[in-house]
Structure 1
Amino acid sequence: MNLRYGMNPHQRPATATPVDPTRRPFRLLHGDPSYINILDAAAAWQLVREAANALGRPVAASFKHVSPAGAAAAGPIDAVMARTYGLEPTTIGALTSAYVRTRDADPKSSYGDFVAVSETVDAELADLLRRVVSDGIVAPGYEPGVVSVLSAKKGGRFLVVEADPDFQPPLTETRDVYGLRLTQPRDDVPLTREMLSDPQLPASAVDDLLLGLIVVRYTQSNSVAYLRDGMTLGIGAGQQSRVDCTQLAGAKVDTWWLRRHPSIQALDVDANTKIQDHVNEQIRRTAVEGEPLDSADRTRWLRRLDQVAFVSDGALPFADNVEQAKRHGVRYIAEPGDSIRSADVLAECQRQGITLVRTGVRLFRH
């Protein structure tokens, strides 16, 4: 497959070639992809397929620059999501709910995203995608008429990719870097609920932690994820310092929760306002001290957030990650363990009333 260009427009020509010419993981239905589009489609599809199989529900992901901005399983949408995206909570379909919950986690980062969903795209989801800014989608199939609706986006430049749900990648991965060829086994260690067995974990927390493990598996390291009710609230990716990653993702959690403050929701919105402009105004208001929220209002509201799960792709090296996570309503943590200060991390979790699960599995991605 000829690509529009490589990672940057000056890197031409660029191509994508199947390792096995007799079996392709994707079929391009519309558009002219770039190198990064292919990377996003490949990682995003693997995430939603793995998560849907693990959770038994439709899953969506929103990818930007080879990391998810959000991911979620199908579930209820709250009043904020319904109002923001112009949807009826009682009639919304499962697949559309999964994407709304995905995009609402970090809608600023999801602007211009590559979408992945685990199920066949229906007309309802296509209508929503028609109204938001995104660059492409990968899915296992499309209902009749949906491809033509999506193909009209972006002046006909929207990418529509069909994944082969039965495709299994090779057992080894190879990458050429600066004259060196690196080869390793594909990271296919199973991520299951059994890894998270702890009598103190409610079933909902187990599912949140399991989704979080799958999310960080496909996120550029260092990575962490905050989750609640089957959806990410904040994802931190690619930071050299894990506590910086924890803080950045925590700031996204705060923004998500502050958008639900009654004073933010009471702001007048013109019926003709575009979805992204509405979201941007919500986010701007959450960051402004004073009207509509003063410092005391913000603090009181943020303290109400609870039952949040937190997942780290690598061992927490210091207890400061636990301290930061607790500020964002975290009650449950999953991490590999086996750092030289793992005892300190456990002690801090016990002090903060957080249930800690050690998976023994590191999930770095570079």
Structure 2
Amino acid sequence: MTKRALISVSDKTGIVALANNLVDLGWEIISTGGTKASLDEAGVKSLAIEEVTGFPEMMDGRVKTLHPLVHGGLLGRRDLEDHMSAMAEHGIQPIDLVVVNLYPFKETLLAGGDYAEMVEKIDIGGPSMLRSAAKNHASVTVLTDPDDYALVLDELSKNGETSFETRQKLAGKVFRHTASYDALIASYLTEQLEVKETENLTLTYQLNQTMRYGENNHQSATFYESALPISYSIAQAKQLNGKALSFNNIRDADAAIKIARDFLEMPTVVALKHMNPCGIGQASTIGEAWDFAYEADPVSIFGGIIVLNREVDAETAQKMHEIFLEIIIAPSYSPEALEILTTKKKNMRILELDFSEAEASKKEAEVTGVLGGILVQEQDVIEEEPDSWEIPTAKKPTATEFEALKFAWKAVKFVKSNGIIVTNDHQTLGVGPGQTNRVASVKIALEQATEKGLDNAVLGSDAFFPFADNIEVIAEAGVKAIVQPGGSVRDDEVIAACDKHGIAMVFTGIRHFRH
């Protein structure tokens, strides 16, 4: 019996060549709508789907392949006599190869399609054929990716059929493809309805990079990016120089660009090491901002991740070129700057990132894996309102101190808890991250800051001070203004300690834990 292939594709890449080769191998082609038109134009003989089903395509193409003569030909098991008898009784001919890719739902969404357009781009017949063929992969070969056409043609040419292993692999690929397709549709409709907590969570990501190893070199790892790309993301950054990013590079770079996103109003440089900022500098020029970030911690910045939120000029590039940096990220680089940075720095990763979509990136949910499940939350991107902050102490911050407190509060949000930061109004001076008690974090931050001098310095804490002992340590160092959320049962003791030492303290009412 002549082998039959059903071809119905939105993406016509390589389809004429595939069909031509199948005809040369003695196959009969069944095709639909636009696919048949393409084959006819190329002179490839094919049967229209209505010639098989006896029914015309109808309802604007919504109904054309949902028919027993199609699905019976796909699902009928060739190894079961009763299946083959039923097919013979009802005039159902086997279909041995299905080539289908789906309506461009994702592409239409990215192009800004309205609701009516999106609904029309929900493919029904395509996934049904793919799933039927994939279920019966013991006998049916199924293709949804043009990259696989050559493999199948090669096997058909050499052996007259595909191997079970190939059919099995292609079937698995189909179910991943249709699952991803359905996940996008589910996500779109969920968003349209503004449903916050769904009974099932469907997420889909696409392969971006196979990594040499994970967090440690004995761990395997893979980088997947959102199926709907986020412009302001490491996944979409353009790499201009250097080796491929490692697992830790990606995590650190992601943390760094999240910090930079909160400092867009002025030229700012963020230096990050092991998921914590080691220097943030803000100034009227990007070169001066680099100086502040570097001076904040010239030891920790070595081998760090650097994000600059303005174009990198030659002068700034020369300063950065003088030390070892792992990654530099910026919206653009002057030609002279790029030449300086790449000279004798073949391995340094240089990335170009679209900062214009930084605000839009705040909408993406944060997903954290745990054993047996995941946690999903909004990003910590709450709009702060400094004018509403409470000042419970007798001493009020000066105008200069208040600007520094605002800077510190922005910065401390990105320090691992228990997180403490010491800053002035344009530069971090000391960072105390991730200690198991807050006093230890305070001491680390103050020790770093004291080396640079505490003129106009203020201190920020990501969560409330549970005891007044923190204030005693801060007072001894000479810091005169503090910003923290407040909310401790011992707030009165903390306030009293500040009043005792003449320290101004601001309560923001918002906590910024970062685990």
Q: Same-fold call, TM > 0.5?
A: yes
Aligned pairs for 1:141-220 (under 5 A) are 141-152=332-343, 154=345, 156-167=346-357, 168-169=360-361, 170-196=363-389, 200-220=396-416
Contact kept in structure 2, 1:192 and 1:210, CA below 8 Å: no
**Counterpart residue number, 1:280:** none
Question: CA offset at residue 153 of structure 1?
Answer: 5.1
Identify the range of structure 1 (315-324 vs 203-212) with the bigger mean alpha-carbon deviation: 203-212
Q: Say yes or no: does 1:111 pair with 2:302.
A: yes
In 1, Cα distance between the equivalents of 2:313 and 2:334?
Answer: 5
> Quick one: distance in 2 between partners of 1:22 and 1:347?
47
Once the two structures are overlaid, the 10-residue window that deviates more, 126-135 or 318-327, is 318-327
Taking the aligned partners of 1:311 and 1:21, their CA distance within structure 2 comes to 35
- Structure 1 position 164, deviation (Å): 1.7
Contact map agreement 1:45 1:118 (CA 8 A) in 2: no
Deviations 1:304-334 (A, max 9, x none): x443211000001111111111233211101
Which piece of structure 1 moves more, 200-209 or 339-348?
A: 200-209
**1:335 paired to 2:484:** yes
Q: TM-score, normalised by structure 1?
A: 0.76
The yes-or-no answer on 1:67 pairing with 2:276 is: yes
Distance in 2 (alpha carbons) for counterparts of 1:45 and 1:327: 35
The corresponding residue for 1:14 is 222
Assess, with a 3 A threshold, how the Cα gap between structure 1 residues 197 and 314 changes in structure 2: closer, same or farther: closer
Contact 1:306 1:331 in 2 (8 A): no
For this pair of structures, how many residues does the alignment match?
297
Q: Contact 1:308–1:328 at 8 Å: present in 2 too?
A: no
Structure-2 residue corresponding to 1:44? 256
Quick one: which amino acid aligns to residue 377 of structure 2?
A: Q
More displaced 10-residue stretch of structure 1: 170-179 or 351-360? 170-179
Distance 1:176 1:243, change over 3 A: same
TM-score, length basis structure 2: 0.55
Distance in 1 between residues matched to 2:510 and 2:249, nearest whole Å: 29
Q: Which of 308, 316, 324 is the matching residue for 2:465? A: 316
Q: Does the 8 A contact of 1:45 with 1:139 survive in 2?
A: no
Alpha-carbon deviation of 1:192?
Answer: 4.3
User: Between Structure 1 and Structure 2, whose CA radius of gyration is higher?
Assistant: 2
The verdict on how the C-alpha distance between 1:344 and 1:197 changes in structure 2, with shifts beyond 3 A counting, is: closer
CA distance in 2, matches of 1:22, 1:43: 15
Q: Which has the higher contact order (CA 8 A, sep 6+)?
A: 1
CA contact (8 A) 2:313 2:336 kept: no
Counterparts of 1:345-364 in structure 2, within 5 Å, are 345-364=494-513
Identify the match of residue 100 of structure 1 among 291, 295, 309. Answer: 291
**Pairing partner for 1:129 from 317, 320, 332:** 320
1:237 paired to 2:433: yes
17-26 or 107-116, which deviates more: 17-26
AA of the residue aligned to 1:44 = A
Unaligned runs of 5+ in 1: 76-93, 258-304
| Separation of aligned partners in 2, 1:97 and 1:15 | 35
Kindly state the Cα deviation for residue 251 of structure 1 after the two structures are TM-superposed: 0.9
- CA drift of 1:205 comes to 1.6
1:260 aligned residue: none
- In structure 1, what is the equivalent of residue 240 of structure 2? 29
Distance 1:36 1:327 in 2: 38
- Residue identity matched to 1:52: L
Identity over aligned pairs, percent: 32
Structure 2 residues not aligned, in runs of 5+? 1-207
Mapped to 2, the partners of 1:348 and 1:153 lie a distance apart of 55
Report if aligned partners of 2:330, 2:351 keep a CA contact under 8 Å in 1.
yes
| Contact preservation (8 Å) 2:422, 2:431 | yes
Offset of residue 102 of structure 1: 1.1
Q: Which runs of 4+ in 1 moved over 4 A?
A: 195-199
